[in-house]
Amino acid sequence: MAQDLTVPVKPGKIIAVHVAFNSRAAQRGRWPKKPSYFLKAASSLAPSGAEIQRPEGTELLAFEGEIALVIGEAAKNVSLEQAWDHVAYVTASNDLGIYDYRAQDKGSNTRSKSRDGFTPLGPELIDARHIDPKALRIRTWVNGELVQEDGTSDEDLIFPLAQFVADLSQHMTLETGDVILTGTPAGSTVIVPGDVVEVEVDAPTAAGAPTSGRLSNTVVSGPGDFDPEIGMLPNIDDKQRADAWGTPELAGLPTDPHAISPELRAKLMAAPTAGLSAQLRARGLNQVVIEGVYPQNVGTKIVGPARTLRFLPEREDLFKTHGGGFNAQKQTFDGVREGEVLVIEARRQPESGTLGDILAIRAKARGAAGVVTDGGVRDYEAVREIGLPVFTQGAHPAVLGRRHVPWDFDLAIGCGNATVVPGDLIVGDDDGVIVIPRALAEEVADAALAKEHEDEWVAQRVAEGGRLDGLFPPTGANKEAYQAYLAANPVKFPTPENGTAHDSR
């Protein structure tokens, strides 16, 4: 690897930024407010031309083309204005990682990213003194196909490159030769043995258009050597697959992991919450009702997987840090998926709005099935006119910040004294709202519809003058009569195409 001898080939520290490019954040759906980092072992460094070994027993090896900053003069507590003066060189890097070990590392990335050879760097160094740090370009090719291309302007990066130097220097001395890997743009995905990955960093508008040259490495199979008696074995799930490939679609997964089938949705739309709740109770689940919430419009029915949002009790200092900007409330409404029910924990306090007309418009535009909040709703009539199904405790004119701090989302919450886990199925009608665990949904829906069929027969007999004893529920002769009726008139389930029913025979 071509290397200026004044900069060590193996730095004392390699520090990597988690997320820095807007394109990457948009792909993941999460924007960091401040930079965060992890360390890579210096022994992971490799030159251009070195082979990248994917260990046997793993499948999710992903590349990340990155811009590497090489520290020149040591930096300790330097300002943002001075930080770039401490960068000697810029070059290309590939921040490789095995997602099979990502969950076990719990954010440290120690095993997933610090294997020998997992930080190719080079091949040439660009003198940082003669380039504009906001005018760099990074490109990555896999087998000759361009898969990543991004810049370092204020529009491209969440944080300027110099900020990483200034920030890290507050906590440690950045020494000569240390390397900072500055995050990857969108396009990172899985590579397999035989693939050739090339990364190049250049400054196309600078004099002479300096370039790092193409950092080229080939993926090969290597030994796993994972001893279960010593440490954890590789393990993956759908979340790691989606993150490694870049998107659920590329990983061959459903776009929405919480999506329900049209057939199940049609059944739940037809089943009353009263019947569903009875079936849940028969299976030992009693605390499934979101207490105190009712639809804005009589006759409203909602069905969909839960997307959750949690508010904490108002605290002025926390509202200053979490209440403004693109806060958790706005992120949740902006990211709700088609068919989802947005469920809001507001601690059963209706004395402040948890949504208003603008947020309702956004949720409707995103295709949300509805909103359930155990707090209040601002712009109550305007929200009603928007047509988004909303279940709430009622109206309240106060803005956000009177009772609540928007805190976090996509986690288990307590709404109306019921626990709601993301992906649980929410069903609401005029009787209220219930929560159905995903694993029981099909069974409970079928049972509720079957019981509804029986209740309709019972209601007809009662209307004809029948006594409740022995009829509700049917026993003895009444049970035999119902069984005969059922044989001739089986339970009918709605079809997703048109909402009509088909029988169970």
pLDDT at 401: 80
Percent of the chain, pLDDT > 70? Answer: 96
Do 57 and 198 belong together in one domain? yes
Q: Is residue 78's pLDDT more than 60?
A: yes
Query: How sure is the predictor about 26, in pLDDT bands with cuts at 50, 70 and 90?
Result: confident
Percent of the chain, pLDDT > 90? Answer: 72
- pLDDT tens per residue, range 345-369: 999 998 888 999 999 999 999 999 9
Binding site for Mg(2+), by residue number, is 379
Do 431 and 451 belong together in one domain? no
| DSSP label at residue 104 | H
Assigned domain for 6 exists? no
Do 104 and 194 belong together in one domain? yes
Assigned domain for 280 exists? no
- pLDDT tens per residue, range 236-280: 888 788 888 988 888 887 767 678 888 999 999 999 999 999 999
Highest-confidence range of 6-15, 77-86, 312-321, by mean pLDDT? 77-86
Assigned domain for 268 exists? no
Do 194 and 338 belong together in one domain? no
Do 358 and 423 belong together in one domain? yes
Binding site, by residue number, is 356-359, 378-379
Which of 416, 436, 456 represents a domain boundary (last residue)?
436
Do 473 and 428 belong together in one domain? no
Q: Are 288 and 274 in contact (CB under 8 A)?
A: no
Residues in CB range of 200: below 8 A, 6 or more apart = 92, 138, 139, 140, 211, 212, 213, 214, 215
pLDDT at 423: 93
Q: Is residue 4's pLDDT more than 50?
A: no
Q: Are 78 and 245 in contact (CB under 8 A)?
A: no
pLDDT at 497: 57
Do 373 and 473 belong together in one domain? no
Taking Cα atoms as reference points, which of 170, 186, 140, 174 lies closest to residue 20?
Answer: 186
Query: What CATH number should be reported for the domain holding residue 100?
Result: 3.90.850.10
Assigned domain for 275 exists? no
Query: What CATH number should be reported for the domain holding residue 319?
Result: 3.50.30.40
Q: Is residue 3's pLDDT more than 60?
A: no
Q: How many CA atoms lie within 13 A of 483 on its CB side?
A: 6
Query: How sure is the predictor about 10, in pLDDT bands with cuts at 50, 70 and 90?
Result: confident
Binding site for substrate, by residue number, is 356-359, 378
Assigned domain for 407 exists? yes
pLDDT at 9: 57
Which of 391, 418, 436 represents a domain boundary (last residue)?
436
Do 186 and 231 belong together in one domain? yes
pLDDT at 345: 96
- pLDDT tens per residue, range 444-483: 999 999 999 888 998 999 999 989 998 888 899 888 988 9
Do 36 and 80 belong together in one domain? yes
pLDDT at 144: 95
Taking Cα atoms as reference points, which of 455, 503, 504 lies closest to residue 482?
Answer: 455
Which of 379, 412, 436 represents a domain boundary (last residue)?
436
pLDDT at 1: 36
Cα–Cα distance for residue pair 411/420, rounded to 1 Å: 9
Cα–Cα distance for residue pair 217/51, rounded to 1 Å: 6
Cα–Cα distance for residue pair 457/471, rounded to 1 Å: 10
- pLDDT tens per residue, range 177-230: 999 999 999 999 999 999 999 999 999 999 999 999 999 999 999 988 788 877
Do 476 and 409 belong together in one domain? no
- Degrees to nearest 5, angle at CA 16 with 226 and 140: 90
Do 105 and 28 belong together in one domain? yes
- pLDDT tens per residue, range 153-165: 999 999 999 999 9
Do 49 and 24 belong together in one domain? yes
Assigned domain for 356 exists? yes
Residue span of the structural domain in which 468 resides: 441-503
Assigned domain for 267 exists? no
- pLDDT tens per residue, range 292-315: 999 999 999 999 999 999 999 999
- pLDDT tens per residue, range 219-243: 999 988 788 877 878 888 887 888 8
How many CB atoms neighbour CB 346 within 10 A? 27
Assigned domain for 387 exists? yes
Number of domains in the chain: 3
How many CB atoms neighbour CB 47 within 10 A? 16
